Amino acid sequence: MLLLALDTATPAVTVALHDGSAVVAASSQVDARRHGELLLPSVDRVLADAGLRLDAVTGIVVGVGPGPYTGLRVGLMTADTFGLALGVPVHGVCTLDGLAHASGIEEGPFVVATDARRKEVYWARYADPRTRLTEPAVDRPAEIAEDVAGLPAVGAGALLYPDTFPDARGPEHVSAAALASLAAERLAKGEELLEPRPLYLRRPDAQVPKNYKVVTPK
């Protein structure tokens, strides 16, 4: 097994290689505006660090979000393209699950929350680092204060809103190393992973103007 994992659902552009036993190379850069520019060079760098070629990869792992439309689609389209070009399966993993896996929290419950912009967070509740209790959701922090009261919280979304998440902690952003490790663990157990389809949870920021005028020839 050699899994190439990548995620662009948060401001981090993150890539890793996992051989089924351990992460053999990884790279993460935080730049919310340069996902498309940074992702492929990161893949090249990780492969070079591992001394491997792309055609050695046996599977692709990609974070499916939730995340902003523009960033998230970069990773998913790249993963689909690699899968088609190499003829290997593409496995989806919830980005929040990757953060939970890397949380360092041994027992729950706890919350993972990432920045959804618009003064909102993407979040879910966990029983432990491998068991999600709720479906990913997007809400204003004040609206979920009662649901998360007293719980440790992981991620940049939690760190942004200390009134709602007083026990907030890192890591801020997901790492592809954590995604790859979680995917390898689940695959080894024969578990099915998610389809590589985006969890947007809301409409994209870019929309057709409401007063758009259609001009047709007479």
Residue-level pLDDT at 218? 55
Dig out the tokens for 147 from the structure. 């649901």
Q: Which helix (H) or strand (E) holds 12?
A: strand 12-18
Q: What is the pTM of this model?
A: 0.90
What length does the chain have? 218
Report the b/e string of 194-204 with b at 16+ CB within 10 A.
Answer: eebebbbbeee
C-alpha separations of 148 from 98, 135, 143, 144, 212 in Å? 19, 14, 10, 6, 42
pLDDT of the residue at 70? 87
pLDDT of 173? 96
Integer CA distances (angstroms), 187 to 1, 34, 87, in order:
10, 31, 18
pLDDT tens digits, one per residue of 146-199: 999 999 999 999 999 999 999 999 999 999 999 999 999 999 999 999 999 999
Concatenated DSSP letters for 30-84? Answer: E-TT-HHHHHHHHHHHHHHHHT--GGG--EEEEE--S--HHHHHHHHHHHHHHHH
Structure tokens at 108: 């729950």
pLDDT score of 206? 47
How confident is the chain (218 residues) per 10-residue block, as mean pLDDT?
97 97 97 94 98 97 94 96 98 98 92 96 96 96 96 97 96 97 96 95 57 56
Instruction: State residue 108's pLDDT score.
Output: 81
Could you tell me whether strands 90-93 and 110-117 are parallel, antiparallel, or unpaired per DSSP bridges?
unpaired
pLDDT at position 211: 59
- pLDDT score recorded for residue 29: 96
Instruction: Determine the pLDDT at residue 203.
Output: 54
Give pLDDT, residue 202. Answer: 73
Whether the bond into 171 is cis, omega within 30 of 0 = yes
> Smallest Cα–Cα separation from 196: which of 29, 82, 38?
82
Token pair in block for residue 166: 């007083």
